[in-house]
Amino acid sequence: MTTGTSDRDAGDESGAPPAPYARLLEEYRRVANVRNASGVLSWDQQVMMPEGGTPARAQQLSTLSSLSHDLLADDAVSDALAELDGAERGSAGGRTGSGTAADLTDAQSAAVREIRRKHERAAAVPTELIEEISTTASEALPAWKEAKAEDDFETFAPYLREHVELKREYAEHVDPDRDPYEVLFEDFEPCLSLDRAEDILTAMRETLVPMIDEIRASETDLATDAFTSLGTYAADEQEALCRDVLSTLGYPWERGRLDTAPHPFSTGTTFDARVTTRFDESDPLGSLLSTVHEFGHATYTLGLPDEHYGTPLGEDRDLSVHESQSRLWENHVGRSAAFWEHFLPTLVEQFPKAADVTPREAYEAANQVYEDNLIRTEADELTYHLHILVRFEIERALIAGDLDVDDVPAVWNDKYEAYLGVRPETDAAGCLQDIHWSHGNFGYFPTYSLGSAMAAQLYHAADADIADLDRDVAAGDFDALHEWLTERVHRHGARYETNDLVEAATGEPFTADAFLEYVTAKYGALYDLDSV
């Protein structure tokens, strides 16, 4: 049985808060609203904006980026934090400090902690640099799209080079005495050290690499072509299927929408969380599982408490936790045998050609371990993490100055051959496949694997708490799982730091153990491995 948290710990704010705390939240809400408005413009640029809109959009996003930065670094925030100094430094079990600090609840102290962290980081970086990073990202996005479409890395290379230089400068302003990549990683995962993250990633790699080798040597035949052998699947019909799966999982359409984008993503707030997907007409599973993945992000965002919108108590904990939600729904639900017992008839209704596919065959097709896949977002559950390793190593080398941008395609291809046994024939299928570097998001990729490990630990705990979760999934009943995740994860916002959140939800510190046990059992059974 896992442990829960009291209402007070979760964010009870009964009674009038101290005046400096109220002022601090007022200032922070302005920051949050500017950033959320920027998010809508960014969504539009990737989904709906006409191609010619880039020059204006670059200026708009740059202005909003500098405005949110200046608001966060403003003296008004600094002054309120100074009055509350020490309020967030006590234990989670009680009030600390004196004067106004003593009047803060645990949840309020956590909000002060989060705002202080962001304020100190913002105050260290010049506004002009923030504007330049934003402008570069806006201009890099269409360049990346063109480069990918034309298989022409040289079109994107100047923007990648500029991003690397700007992010090195950014890291130097934040902390010139530390590894710049470590500083950048903290933008996405501020609560786990890079060393701790690498320990978890290493444990995953040491189990996955020999397991993948054993699977590739296995003589077990899975129904890998259960869907791909049946012809093509029209994009508009796949979109209808993706809408069906979102409805099945419980996506509230009054607070969201589904669109297409070159790279699937989710964005928004607790009132408006949108998802995107893309289609491959040869295989409906790609768009389906991508949609389920983005649903996981959206359901986390939608599960944040409405009443704390615009404050850290109404914001996600950061990307490792966010990725845990997407990977949980994609892998532990969408790739489960129970899910295919329920959802296969819906797929067949949309695509009658699949009428002879059995739930077992659908399950096997969704869980095949590829020998020749080049694309991360289409990767299986195991080799996915080797895709992450390639990106992690390349961007660390770029930021450290150990790799020149011009050499990225060759190094990428060499690493794919070494780690995955395949070599991209084009840069479009190689180093240009992901959107993240066009945004300048160095340090993001490790959170995918960290999120996968966290997802397994959370799902294991949920399965122990919910009477028959497998039966619920097979029946298309996801209410209990939604409630468990909302109660244990979503409703806390950024109240807990990462490890504390996982421990509060599961009763155990965050490790890779549950993930390794899960994949060993699942894929050992699928491929009849001797090691299981």
Q: Give yes or no: 294 in active site.
A: yes
Dihedral class, residue 122 (left if φ above 0, else alpha if ψ from -120 to 50, else beta): alpha
Q: Which of 131, 294, 315, 330 is catalytic?
A: 294
Centre a 10 Å sphere on the Cβ of residue 115 and count the other Cβ atoms it contains.
25
CA distance 188 to 439: 13
Rounded Cα gap, residues 275 and 443, in angstroms? 23
What separation in angstroms does the CA of 507 have from each of 1, 106, 136, 461, 484?
8, 20, 43, 8, 14
8 Å CB contact between 466 and 278: no
**Residue pair 87/103 in contact by the 8 Å Cβ criterion:** no
Helix (H) or strand (E) holding 71: helix 54-73
**221: which DSSP letter?**
P
Distance of CA 221 to the CA centre of its chain: 33
* Rounded Cα–Cα distance for residues 108 and 114 (Å): 10
Tell me the sheet residues that pair with 354: none
Backbone angles phi, psi at 455, to 5 degrees: -60, -45
Distance from C-alpha of 419 to C-alpha of 438, rounded to nearest angstrom: 24
Kind plus residue range of the DSSP H or E element containing 373: none
Task: Please list, residue by residue across 513-530, b when 16 or more beta carbons sit within 10 angstroms of its beta carbon and e when fewer do.
Answer: bbbbebbbebbbebbebe
Residue 352's identity, in one-letter code, is P
Q: Which of 499, 532, 529, 515 has the alpha carbon at shortest distance from 331?
A: 515
Q: Using CA atoms, how far apart are residues 199 and 453, in angstroms rounded to an integer?
A: 12
Q: What angle do CA 161, 178, 202 make, to 5 degrees?
A: 85
Listed residue (283, 264, 284) closest to 274, CA to CA: 264
Task: Single out the residue of 311, 316, 307 nearest to residue 115, CA to CA.
Answer: 311
- Using the Cα atoms of residue 427, residue 430, residue 431 and residue 433 in order, give the sign of their dihedral: positive
The residues annotated as belonging to the active site are 294
